[in-house]
A = this chain, B = another copy of it.
């Protein structure tokens, strides 16, 4: 087995990190159904400065979770929810085949407990 972490990951780091912040998740919700301008979004977070929101939007954009469309004076953000697929895939990987793997797991556990550990 190679390094267990070096599989299909890479961008999932950025996506999961982007999701690990309430402000950014709130932003994603706000742009899920349609474009919204940056200032419009910033106004939805009264307890935070506008640049802070702008920086959160940058994190989301670098993670591929929002698109930007310049429009006149504004910049319209929209969710690109396909970017969430990589995290979803990981969760699915953790959930899928759970039953199918149980017998293998039982064997592994038995091997470990009797042959090596011996509770």
A4 touches B16 (CB 8 A): no
**In this complex, what residue of B is CB-closest to A118?**
B72
Decide yes or no whether A55 CB sits under 8 A from chain B.
no
Picked from B4, B44, B117, the residue with its CB within 8 Å of the CB of A71 is B117
Contact A109 B28 (CB under 8 A): no
Q: Report Cα–Cα, A3/B48, bound state, in Å.
A: 11
Chain A 32-62 per-residue mask, 1 if CB under 8 angstroms from chain B, else 0: 1111110000001111000000000000000
Q: Say whether A68 faces chain B, with CB atoms less than 8 Å apart.
A: no
Q: Tell me the bound Cα distance from A13 to B112 in angstroms.
A: 34
Check A6 against B22 for contact (C-beta < 8 Å): yes
Name A's B-contacting residues (CB within 8 A). 1, 3-7, 9, 12-13, 16-17, 19-23, 25-30, 32-37, 44-47, 71-72, 74, 79, 81, 84, 87-88, 90-91, 93-95, 98, 101-102, 104-106, 108-109, 112, 117, 119
